[in-house]
Amino acid sequence: MKKQLVLFAAFVLLVAACGGGDSGSEASNRASDRDSAAPDAPPSPQAAEAPAPDDAGTSDDSGTSDSTGTPQPTGDDGEGDAPEDTASPEPSDDVSADEEAAAISDPVFQPTCRGEGDLSATATGVTAETIKIGAPQVDYEQLANLGLARIDRGGYDVIYEALTAEVNANGGICGRMLETVTYKFLPFGTDTSLAGCVYFTEDEEVFAVLGSFTRVAAGNICVTETHNTALIGAPFTADDRARANAPWVSLGIATDRVLEVFVSALDKAGLLADAGNVAVHSGAGRQELVDNVLVPALEAAGVDVAERTVIDVPAGDTQAGAAVWRTFVEIYRNADINTVFLDGDSIFGVEQLIQGGLDVTLFNAERNTFTFGLQDSSDPGYFEAYTLGSPYTAEDNNPRMEDCIQGFERQSGIEVIPNSLLPEEETNWFIPVRNVCQVFDLFVQLAAAAGPNLNNETLQAAIDSFGPIELPNEAFASLGVGKYDIRDGVVLMKWDPEAGDENGGEFVVYSDLIDTAG
């Protein structure tokens, strides 16, 4: 009978913590990972209404492609937020769960309008002429002012304005022109995220919000539950998704599927056969999910979980986190642990395992925070470690992503330079443009599939019936009744301490491409 020991350590902050745990949504964006208790910045809305078609430039055939080929796996860009579980509102009555949908493939930002109806004011944010959308963006300037991070990223308002202009130059969506407004928020606390929710839903009265209030679930819930507004691209938990009163779609794989897919991939690669004594670790906030999904998946694969540890420490309290992890290290040592499954943020754990001299293999399905933990450790080459990724490296793009980048460059006049070629001191547009391309293309396709009579009900029906979908830098992707997370294609990745910028270490592809939907 397996032995399980769950430890909780609650600490109270007596002084303001310095720094915070990395748990980011982008592989090179540590700013958005900070959950420290810094003060919220004052609201800072920015509006950028897209010009009419005559002012928006002309379409260019060189910027379109049907992107029919399936790429070979080469790595993971790690730029999307790791989504959570998939529960959902009741699916629409317009599609049966057994109904197979044919793949829809239009050139990027040239969607075919599906459905019938006259153009009129069909919903909040939808008039006969326009569709208004909102997009949150991390306030990097304020993060720098707070001393948390100094990152020179291109403005999301500029990116959304350019892509909006590109769509409008191609005729808009079912004849309606897009309008976009953005709002800057901090990825911790709730003040700025809730203010952004109110700005989008009450002040600007948008039809949908694209992207996510990163690391602040309250902002996303405010949009979908409190204000009945569609949210496209943000991660969700099962409870969050069940509470939504409007369509909610996540770009990545739902957390329950991520954990199950990860275990399955490790098993197929033979990495569980020699796992030895296994420990599973998580934060208190995800204890139930890990106990109900990851642990049973491991047991089903024949893995005996010898130790189960849980940490409950405020995000910014680095001293407390390290102290608790030193206790866990001794528990692992006494149990002769060979393999540790880390769930989520692993900064404290990675370093304390090194300091404790434990020779263990590490598994973590969430690549971004895992990368930070290994790179920031005192010995990045200490561990053998594995994670999941999508089949694109930090600089590889599929044709659809290239088309989107070309559209941005055409409308903005800004050249998007890959990270490896970017001169020092120049603004990085590569990462944010690729982030926005995915969610923007997704919304354009879904809104066109909903047809002229665009509202929450027709948008949900389009989601439920869409089936396979082509998106920038997604090898396999789909939507359907009960499946509201996009990504289906993943690869297993192994840590290489000699890879990455300045040899700081990076995960590299270890397995063949896996289609989790097929």
- Where is 481: in which H helix or E strand? none
Q: Tokens standing for 289?
A: 């999910």
Residues 6+ apart with CB under 8 A from 413: none
CA pair distance 233, 249, nearest whole angstrom: 6
Q: How many contiguous H segments (helices) and E segments (strands) does the chain have?
A: 14, 16
- CA 334-336-341 angle, to 5 degrees, is 110
pLDDT one-digit tens code per residue, 17-74: 222 232 233 333 333 332 333 333 333 434 433 333 333 222 222 222 333 333 333 3
SS3 for 126? strand
Residue 254 pLDDT > 50, yes or no? Answer: yes
- According to DSSP, residue 128 is labeled S
In percent, the amount of the chain with pLDDT more than 70 equals 78
Of 117, 62, 160, which is closest to residue 435 (Cα–Cα)? 160
pLDDT one-digit tens code per residue, 288-345: 989 999 999 999 999 999 999 999 987 667 788 889 999 999 999 999 999 999 997 6
pLDDT (mean) for 275-286: 93
CA pair distance 97, 291, nearest whole angstrom: 29
| pLDDT at res. 314 | 76
- Binned at pLDDT 50, 70 and 90, residue 217 comes out as confident
Question: What is the domain partition of the chain in residue ranges?
Answer: 1-12+21-518
Q: Tokens standing for 247?
A: 């369509």
Alpha-helical runs (H) found in 26-155? 140-145
| pLDDT at res. 518 | 63
CA pair distance 332, 24, nearest whole angstrom: 27
CA pair distance 55, 57, nearest whole angstrom: 6
Exposure string (b/e) for 421-435, b if CB count within 10 Å is 16 or more? eeeeeeebbbbbbbb
- Where is 218: in which H helix or E strand? helix 217-221
Selected residue with higher pLDDT from 305 and 94: 305
pLDDT one-digit tens code per residue, 263-280: 999 998 899 999 999 999
- According to DSSP, residue 175 is labeled T
Q: Tokens standing for 267?
A: 């098993």
Entry pTM = 0.72
pLDDT one-digit tens code per residue, 353-402: 999 999 999 999 988 778 888 888 889 889 999 999 887 766 889 999 99
CA pair distance 440, 232, nearest whole angstrom: 9
- Residue 334: alpha-carbon gap to chain centroid: 37
pLDDT (mean) for 421-431: 90
Residue 287 · residue 253 · CB < 8 Å: no
| pLDDT at res. 115 | 77
Burial class (CB in 10 A: 0-12, 13-18, 19+), 283: middle
Q: What is the dihedral of CA 162, 164, 168, 170, to 10 degrees?
A: 70
DSSP 303-366: --EEEEEEEB--TT-HHHHHHHHHHHHHHHHHTT--EEEE-S--HHHHHHHHHTT---EEE-S-
In percent, the amount of the chain with pLDDT more than 90 equals 54
pLDDT (mean) for 221-236: 96
3-state secondary structure 410-466: HHHCCCCCCHHHCCCCCCECHHHHHHHHHHHHHHHHHHHHHCCCCCHHHHHHHHHHC
pLDDT one-digit tens code per residue, 118-143: 899 999 999 999 999 999 999 989 98
CA pair distance 362, 358, nearest whole angstrom: 11
Residue 430 vs residues 78, 154, 156, 182, 423: alpha-carbon distances, Å: 13, 8, 12, 19, 13
| pLDDT at res. 319 | 87
Residue 327 · residue 9 · CB < 8 Å: yes
SS3 for 89? coil
Q: Tokens standing for 350?
A: 């990675």
Residues 6+ apart with CB under 8 A from 286: 343, 344
| pLDDT at res. 316 | 65
- According to DSSP, residue 199 is labeled I
| pLDDT at res. 49 | 35
